[in-house]
């Protein structure tokens, strides 16, 4: 359980650092994240419909 918590914290910290040092402007990064989240929601809906 401790390993899983550490892993999740490490992933979150890595993502945060990656966003901070990204070569593109913040507005483009936010738009890309928003698009990915929207696509993820669509994929979840599709999976629920097919299962």
Q: Evaluate whether residue 48 is within a structural domain.
A: yes
From CA 13, how far away is CA 5, in angstroms rounded? 12
Q: Evaluate whether residue 47 is within a structural domain.
A: yes
Q: Evaluate whether residue 50 is within a structural domain.
A: yes
From CA 17, how far away is CA 3, in angstroms rounded? 21
- Tally of domains within the chain: 1
Higher pLDDT: 42 or 32? It is 32
pLDDT of 38: 80
Q: Evaluate whether residue 6 is within a structural domain.
A: no
pLDDT of 9: 93
Q: Evaluate whether residue 42 is within a structural domain.
A: yes
pLDDT of 42: 62
Q: Evaluate whether residue 14 is within a structural domain.
A: no
Rounded percentage of the chain residues whose pLDDT exceeds 90: 18
pLDDT of 25: 83
């Amino acid at each position: 359980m401790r390993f899983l918590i550490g892993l999740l914290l490490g992933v979150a910290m890595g993502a945060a650092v990656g966003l901070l040092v990204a070569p593109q402007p913040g507005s483009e990064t936010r738009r890309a994240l928003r698009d990915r989240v929207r696509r993820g929601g669509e994929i979840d809906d599709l999976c629920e419909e097919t299962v």
